[in-house]
Amino acid sequence: MSFFKKIFSSDKKETLDKGLEKSKTSFLGKLGKAVAGKSKVDDDVLDNLEEVLVSSDVGVNTTLKVIERIEQRVAQDKYLGTDELNGILREEIAALLSETNSGEETEYTIPDLPKQENGKKTPYVLMVVGVNGVGKTTTIGKLAYQFKKQGLKVVLGAADTFRAAAIDQLQVWADRVDVTMVRQDMGSDPASVAFDALESGVNQDADVIIIDTAGRLHNKINLMNELTKVKRVMQKVVGDAPHDVLLVLDGSTGQNAFEQAKQFTAATEVTSLAVTKLDGTAKGGVVIGISDQFQIPVKYIGVGEGIEDLQVFNKYEFVDSFFK
């Protein structure tokens, strides 16, 4: 059975291919050396493959799962040629990603939500978390652009009030995309900004409200208390907010992205992931490891600086580009 029968959208697929070029070239180069002089997948090849996957930032635990899957294939087929290894890797990694990602989405979508008790539309509330420098604000701006392009009304909330630069940067994106932004002065209570943003969004009949939060990895207790307060205050306006807590990770940091994911998932309930800056790095394998290890779906990946280069994550397209 092939996972790769889907006909991909040519423009976005070309961008994805280009964005993963460094990761693919690095990985396939290492894989070529791992099987050099070998015609059969044996213990030596599997040992070398394990080293290749770990050094490609797939992560130790996920690597062991992949190796175990391939060992099962070897046991069943008795003889597997090294020329088949690339195809087998594609299939097994796609299957592994299937456990946390439905993976066939290609569009930015939000669910239909029931109306509120007062009869007003329930906006989809997205809370975005992540440390400074990972591309959090840029991701919010690009998401706002994509939702607006679909004809949806978007409101942004600048609840990262600890840095004036964060508020100003989000304002630049709000102006660029031409959406409403709710802000207060630097040092204001983040929960107060979130409350105002939701109240404004509801009054404007908004479809989507995106809340930016402070990008500090301080100790887990403070982080947990802060994010819990923001959630609690938002729920005074929209009872089941937030509908999604999106953690943004910088793919170019490799194993450091794992550590950030560990910190944030311990501090708050993260429901989806965005992995950015994949175009400038050979560490694209981190997407595979993070998705598997944390059992949280990767929803978006950043494969370029352009406003269209934040893509909805599709596991089939990603694996196809990675192993092409």
Could you list the residues known to form a binding site, using ranges.
Answer: 130-137, 212-216, 276-279
Q: What is the DSSP string of 255-302?
A: HHHHHHHHHHHHHS---EEEEE-GGG-S-TTHHHHHHHHHT--EEEEE
259's CB contacts (< 8 A; 6+ apart) are: none
Q: What are phi and psi of 298, to 5 degrees?
A: -80, 120
Q: Which residues pair with 209 in a beta bridge?
A: 125, 155
Measuring CA to CA, which residue among 63, 49, 129, 32 is closest to residue 288? 63
Q: Answer whether 201's CB lies under 8 Å from 155's CB.
A: yes
Instruction: Cite the annotated binding site for GTP by residue number.
Output: 130-137, 212-216, 276-279
Q: Answer whether 34's CB lies under 8 Å from 85's CB.
A: no
Q: Whats the size of the chain, residue-wise? A: 324
Q: Answer whether 157's CB lies under 8 Å from 210's CB.
A: yes
Decide: helix, strand or coil at residue 38.
coil
Q: Answer whether 63's CB lies under 8 Å from 33's CB.
A: no
Token readout for 10 is 């040519």
Decide: helix, strand or coil at residue 236.
coil
